[in-house]
Amino acid sequence: MARRPLPRILSTGTAQLARSRELARSAADGATDVLHPLITITRGLRRLAGAGRRKWAATPKERRGSLLFLVASVVLVVALIPYGPMLAAICLMAAAAWTGRERAAPAPSGPDDAQVQRLQSLYEALVPYFSVPEDPSPLFAHGGEWDKAFTAYGFDDDGRISHLVVRYPAYFTDGEAESRARIEQVLYAKSGRGREYHFAWDEEGNALTVTVLPPLPTDISAQRFVTAPGETVLGFTDPTAVQRTLPVADGDEQRDVPPVVWRTGIRSTEPHLLVLGRPGSGTTTLLRSVALQALQHGDVVIVEGSGTGDYACLTGRAGVLAVECGLAGALGSLEWAAHETERRLIAANRARQAGHPPPDDTKRPLWILLDRPGILGHLAAADGHRDPQSLLQVPLRHGRAAGVTVVVADQLDGMEGLTDTVRQHTRARVLLGPATADQVEEVLGAAPHTTPTADMPPGRGYARLGTGPVLRLQVPATPDPYDDATSDAHRRAVLDLLPDRTARADADLAPAAVAEG
């Protein structure tokens, strides 16, 4: 018998071994294809069982009996239905297959090259403020790793930073306003100007959260807001700033927006309001909005120092006691308001001493709206009369007890002309229009947590009620309906809110109408 060469034997054995491996691999793949649905269903049944155990453990003991009775009832009903057990088994297998499927892990995402460069540039800009030479392992260092300092970040469609969480060393003086202001200025400059940023300092966790705020809605017009007596809507703010929303009408639709509500009355801690702003910023619009809301439950006296007739639409309306534009009329109306405040105090005091409730004529709120008192003060000084602001001393000091509310509006550059009495007793403040952070702090008594922008729409600004936080504010659109530049929708919205004309006003207009005819 001839022997085969050894190389041929080895090659034959190697080929058979490779063929055996291929057959084994094919068999394993076939077994996997067969067992894959079973594995999925088994995994799903195990997950469903675990969820059931967790649900049973989380159920209070006093409710487990009712839950067990409910499950037994469902099982009994299914068992009595024709083909019920088979349908239940099919549903169980389908639920197990869906629950046991392998979920693909989301693909890791990270910043692109441009975003990395922007984050690195911002990191390098913060190094001089967040590092000291004595730090052995500085978190901020030139050429360091930005991802250790920026724990979270986000970008908008334009590639600019929209959200950022910055970790900083514990030795940074985050309790000092000047130190925080420097960091906020750097972040504002490097992240993109022209936007408003909100800075939330976590002093305990040594973290700073920077968020780009969306613009406030400017399309909300004057309307009847759902408020209680004594509540006045100054405008609208960010959803995270207040814990309340109001339904407002936007055409044929309705939506909920967060308001800035100012509360007046006997229990108010901020009974009077001061509004300041630049020309065209919307101070008169805010006073007109306040007047329309005040007329729902009270009487209004309006003194206009500019003499432009911005409140002519309120003349002769029910509840409007006077609309004065001249110096003589302004002095007379404010003097009457001071005497009316004293009369209400005396009447209420006598009623309390006698054990009776306050008279009805002292319960109706009285509003005194004074626009541009600086102009009236100059006119009074030129004519040798007293400053009209001096007549506000009694309403400001004792107005809360007498149901009298004072609202003063003036230009920002005329703030120095306000008397000390007006400054001390107007604890609710509003600043409208472009202003620096120092100006906002001077008017409101506290710096905002956002960066003021140079370009603001009319009615946009900040508000602070007493010792509360500084809130962004957008005043509802309340233009003069007699202005030709007003849109038809806003004109109709204001006209619908005006009270009916009084009989005396109609009688005064009748001779003029006859003469024109």
Residue environment code for 314-324, b if the CB has 16+ CB neighbours within 10 A, otherwise e: bebbebbebbb
Which of 421, 377, 425 lies closest to 405, judged by CA?
425
Neighbours of 227 (CB within 10 A): 15
Whether 292 contacts 498, CB under 8 Å: yes
Placement of tokens 């046991």 in the chain: 100
Q: How many CB atoms lie within 10 A of CB 469?
A: 13
Distances in Å between the Cα of 134 and the Cα atoms of 100, 128, 137, 171, 375 are 56, 13, 9, 11, 59
What DSSP element (H or E) covers 95?
Answer: helix 84-99
**What is the distance between the alpha carbons of residues 95 and 98, in angstroms, rounded to a whole number?**
5
Question: Is 278 a known ligand-binding residue?
Answer: yes
Strand, coil or helix: 260: strand
Alpha-carbon distance of 487 to 481, in angstroms, equals 9
Return the ∠ at Cα 249 (arms to 290 and 468), rounded to 5°: 45
Residue 221, beta-bridge partner list: 477
> Binding site annotation covers 277?
yes
| Cα-only R_g, the chain | 37
**Residue type at position 373:** P
Sheet holding 404-411, edge to edge: 259-263, 231-236, 471-474, 460-465, 428-432, 273-277, 404-411, 366-371, 299-304, 320-324
**Cα–Cα distance, 367 to 409 (Å, whole number):** 14
> What's the gap between Cα 129 and its chain centre?
31
Please give the single-letter amino acid code of residue 32: T
Quote the CA–CA distance of 235 and 257 in Å, as a whole number: 10
Are the C-beta atoms of residues 513 and 506 closer than 8 Å to each other? no
Partner residues linked to 210 by β-bridges: 164, 199
- 280 is an annotated ligand-binding site residue: yes
Q: Please tell me the total number of residues recorded for the chain in this structure.
A: 517
Residue 174 has which token pair? 């985050």
Residue whose pair of structure tokens reads 């008397």 in the numeric block:
419
Binding-site residue numbers for ATP are: 277-284
Binding-site residue numbers are: 277-284
